[in-house]
Structure 1
Amino acid sequence: MKKVFVALVAGLLVGGSATSAPAEAATGGRHSYTGVIDGAEYRVETPADWNGTLVLFSHGYYPPDFPIQDILVANAEESEEWLLDHGYALAASMYQDDGVGYLVEDAIQDQLALLDWFEANLGRPHRTVVTGQSLGVAISTLLVERYPRRFDGLLTLCGAYDPLNTFNTALDVNFAVKTLLAAGEDIDLVGAADPVASRDAMVAAVDRARTTPQGQARLALAAAFGNVTGWYFSLQPKPTDPAGWIQQQVEWVKWAKVYGNGPVAFAGIAEVAGGNPLWNAGVDYARQLTRSSQHDAVRRAYRDAGLDLRADLATLAAAPRIAPRPGAVRYMYQYGVPVGRTPVPVLSLHTTGDGGASPDQERWYARQVRRAGDPGQLRQLYVERGGHCSFSAAEEVTALRALLAKVETGRWPETSPGRLNAAANGFDPHFHQVLDLGTFTKGVLPPGFTRYTPPTTPRPSR
């Protein structure tokens, strides 16, 4: 999955940070600042008439070879447009290393350094809301938990709150593909001498398998270990036929789990964490399947393909397993797994068909909040749509307004789907555009707020 980012360079000396003078551009009363703080590029946008609120945006995980052309300061460009038109200031760091790879530790410091820069050079915000998409949600959540006095609210979009869970479930998907569809091939999931070659061999195995009923059934099994849905294209209706469902599951497996979060990602995480932090030693895949939201689809696919599901589960059970390095696991808990504290109001937004960051992460996070935080500080919203982070600006701004109402009054406003859809319908059609990451096209869709109960995540880290 690809997003576009602009590389912009500058900076200035703030609190001892290694920076150079920022580049500044002004248009119609607005100002745009770009620069570099301690090696991390940033972008700041201020409106003609600032209302005192700063929105600090945390981008998600970008694998190597990701096309980076612009630093996003909002999940959707139409959201950026609306927020600036209505007086909000926006800021985002690209993080170290051009924003590529698992950079949670660096990202936390880079976002704090940018917030310091903003306060020193542009003024202290009346309120600061931190938001993030995908893995950026883990970054934003850790910022709020660890630096609560710096923030007033948290808005999460398509959240991967638990990165250790995210990559462990990706390991499960990759393990099933390798074991059942690429047996005997020279593929290393972790510790690979050539992770790109391993990734490419896995992608080729997926492409071969998707052409036969037997291969499709095994891909459906692999997808089930990550609660991966069969709704990949956000501009298309939810598939109702089993064949169409599996083919869209395959898109998620290929692009999100193997290409994006497979051997290349595992190698990068190991480099940052000081060793491999991922494991499937001790995992019972038969049990994992019974817990998956996709178990019925798997059983149907195996039955239609004439395959023995128990035999494939036995093959997985007998295959050599992967163990982690304990110090690397500790690193992931330190820089990646929130505990659920809620010192500020938190509002989440997730699509029901997301197979990149399954909505099961929302259920996991709500459980952490019940253990360590205040459930009254958390409100979770869902949009009935396929795709990852496939929200319109109308939906994002409607969610932000609900969060700000809680921040300002101490009470949540009415957030029923009907009320939220009515509020979002008040926006012009331009703000109802949704990006389909499967086709890289945009289309206008009606608001999709809905009631939804996410499944249980198969690999919780806490």
Structure 2
Amino acid sequence: MTALPPLRAWPRRTVAVPAALAAAVFLAGCAPVVTQPQAVAEAAPVATPCPKDLAPIARCLSGQDSAGAYYFIAMPQQWNGHLVLHAHGGPALGAPRMERAVEDLERWSIMVRAGYAWAGSTFRQGGVGVRAAAEDTERLRKIFVQQVARPQRTILHGQSWGASVAAKGAEMFQATAGGQRPYDAVLLTSGVLAGGTRSYDFRTDLRVVYQYLCNNHPRPTEAAYPLNIGLPRDAAMTQADLAARVNECLALNRPAAERTPEQQRKVKTIVDVIRIPASSIQGHMNWATFHYRDVVQHRTGGASPFGNRGVQYKGSPDDAALNAAVLRYRADPAAVARFAQDTDLGGRIPVPVLTVKGVEDPTAFVELDAAFKATMEQGGSAARLVQTFTQHHTHSYLSDPTYPALMSALLRWVDEGVKPTPEGIAAQCPAFEAQFGKGCAFLPAYLPAALNTRVADRDRP
């Protein structure tokens, strides 16, 4: 294997002006409209102990921005001059916590170990608010530039749900007052990239099929409500409560061999119809319950943007019985429009975009990337998109050498105009294993099928 060249130290250039500008950019429909930002003073970040694994090689800073989001910054001692601006996945519900930013840095320490500065925001609010999260990410970029250092290149990195935040941010923020683009390129990893109005359809399907099989969420003795709202506003259910109900019906907390034949049949029906592994059922049920409530109550005015009218479910022991009995819901047109304005993408990104996803990702289906490609084509940005796929079956993290290999290819595209290919990235990745360990698993010939081959089409407003 070929050893990597030593990382270049990049001179740190601090900016004397202590105030950062807060972003105030919105979109009308899908077209980016840039408004003049208002000047807001930002407190300087403070020196903070780095996570244990990074302490020998980096210095860290943290703070809370003017909108209430916490953030964490790591500067490697041998800085290569580039910034990775991170948009985290999830999203979490509830108030932001500094611990979240620390956890993100620990997960993505590979970026710092590879020589990149790293900055991540908790976002100012919990829940499924994509535009707000993109604004918080841009605000952190300005804090970094104004008060820490001026990077040579800034790569906007979005992971999972955060990939939609990064893609949306790249559409929203395309020019600063000085005429320079805020982001030089975008890296989207394990992304949820079909927009909110399509990416979550399968969770609606899961919710109604689960209820058909289990009839305990809600129970017959409880007040009925439309399943596509997640939960009523005042429901006191917790994740532990929901897990107890799911295990009551499916026994997911037990090995498959210890489930009753009836429980095994029901689990298999969900796996075959919804096309998710049994290990993912609980997580997706959480999302279809608590995150759906967040969307309906806080994003779409009390109406649901989720529906399943027109879906023909397949894969059960008796599809005719399932389709005849499963509950059906119509997505509210106004709610769909509001949710689309916040979460759907227009495909108009003016800088290089590189994506990666494991073909067996149990959380963000690989077919979502086919939908994203179509969006980029429709938005006129197809020439600025390269998609890669790996044989990993995980979602939250693929492998250490995967990400430096992608970053190297992306920066060469930016700096030299050499557009990468999946074949080239696959060939270059093993060189990074010498420094970061084994883990390259690119599948350069892989192309995902259309999203509707995985998640059934439905009637839409």
Q: In the alignment, residue 14 of structure 1 is paired with which amino acid?
A: A
Deviations 1:304-362 (A, max 9, x none): xxx4332223222xx3x333444332221111111112311111010111121111110
2:85 matched residue in structure 1:
56
2:270 matched residue in structure 1:
222
1:23 matched residue in structure 2:
46
Are 1:268 and 2:294 an aligned pair?
A: yes
> How does 1:343-358 map onto structure 2 within 5 Å?
343-358=350-365
SS of residue paired to 2:20: coil
Q: In the alignment, residue 183 of structure 2 is paired with which amino acid?
A: F
Distance 2:429 2:446 in 1: 18
Q: In the alignment, residue 453 of structure 1 is paired with which amino acid?
A: L
Q: In the alignment, residue 354 of structure 2 is paired with which amino acid?
A: L
1:112 matched residue in structure 2:
138
Q: Aligned pair in 2 of structure 1 residues 459, 132: CA closer, same or farther (>3 Å)?
A: farther
SS of residue paired to 1:137: helix
Distance 2:298 2:389 in 1: 33
> How does 1:305-316 map onto structure 2 within 5 Å?
307-316=317-326
2:202 matched residue in structure 1:
169
Q: Aligned pair in 2 of structure 1 residues 213, 373: CA closer, same or farther (>3 Å)?
A: farther
Are 1:426 and 2:444 an aligned pair?
A: no
1:283 matched residue in structure 2:
310
> How does 1:31-110 map onto structure 2 within 5 Å?
31-37=59-65, 38-64=67-93, 69-71=99-101, 72=103, 76-83=107-114, 86=115, 88-97=116-125, 100-110=126-136
SS of residue paired to 1:253: helix
SS of residue paired to 1:424: helix
Distance 1:392 1:223 in 2: 27
Of residues 193-202 and 134-143 in structure 1, the stretch that sits farther from structure 2 once superposed is 193-202
Distance 1:158 1:75 in 2: 18
1:441 matched residue in structure 2:
none
Tell me the matched-pair count: 390
Distance 1:28 1:198 in 2: 38
Q: In the alignment, residue 59 of structure 2 is paired with which amino acid?
A: H
Deviations 1:217-253 (A, max 9, x none): 444443456542xxxxxxxxxxxxxxxxxxxx11111
SS of residue paired to 1:150: coil
How far residue 199 of structure 1 moved from its aligned partner, in angstroms, is 8.0
1:293 matched residue in structure 2:
none
**Contact (CA 8 Å) 1:173, 1:222: kept in 2 or not?**
yes
Are 1:125 and 2:151 an aligned pair?
A: yes
1:156 matched residue in structure 2:
188
2:409 matched residue in structure 1:
402
Distance 1:415 1:284 in 2: 35
Are 1:368 and 2:416 an aligned pair?
A: no
1:251 matched residue in structure 2:
279
Distance 1:25 1:327 in 2: 45
**Contact (CA 8 Å) 1:351, 1:390: kept in 2 or not?**
no
SS of residue paired to 1:139: helix
Q: In the alignment, residue 47 of structure 2 is paired with which amino acid?
A: E
SS of residue paired to 1:427: helix
Distance 1:275 1:430 in 2: 51
**Contact (CA 8 Å) 2:71, 2:140: kept in 1 or not?**
yes
Q: Aligned pair in 2 of structure 1 residues 199, 281: CA closer, same or farther (>3 Å)?
A: farther
Unaligned runs of 5+ in 1: 1-11, 229-248, 290-297, 433-444
Q: In the alignment, residue 169 of structure 1 is paired with which amino acid?
A: F
Deviations 1:179-225 (A, max 9, x none): 22226543643242416269834752355335245544444443456
Q: CA RMSD in A?
A: 3.0
**Contact (CA 8 Å) 1:196, 1:264: kept in 2 or not?**
no
2:28 matched residue in structure 1:
none
Deviations 1:156-198 (A, max 9, x none): 0100012332333211111110122226543643242416269
SS of residue paired to 2:122: strand
Q: Aligned pair in 2 of structure 1 residues 198, 396: CA closer, same or farther (>3 Å)?
A: closer
Q: Aligned pair in 2 of structure 1 residues 165, 399: CA closer, same or farther (>3 Å)?
A: same
Distance 1:143 1:126 in 2: 20
How far residue 121 of structure 1 moved from its aligned partner, in angstroms, is 1.4
Alignment identity in percent? Answer: 21
Are 1:147 and 2:190 an aligned pair?
A: no
Q: In the alignment, residue 357 of structure 1 is paired with which amino acid?
A: A
How far residue 42 of structure 1 moved from its aligned partner, in angstroms, is 0.6
Query: Which residue of 442, 452, 457 corresponds with 1:449?
Result: 442
Q: In the alignment, residue 309 of structure 1 is paired with which amino acid?
A: D
Distance 1:92 1:175 in 2: 36
Are 1:384 and 2:415 an aligned pair?
A: no
**Contact (CA 8 Å) 2:196, 2:344: kept in 1 or not?**
yes
1:14 matched residue in structure 2:
20
Q: In the alignment, residue 423 of structure 1 is paired with which amino acid?
A: Q
Q: Aligned pair in 2 of structure 1 residues 115, 446: CA closer, same or farther (>3 Å)?
A: closer
Of residues 201-210 and 395-404 in structure 1, the stretch that sits farther from structure 2 once superposed is 201-210
The structure richer in helix per residue is 1
Distance 1:131 1:226 in 2: 29
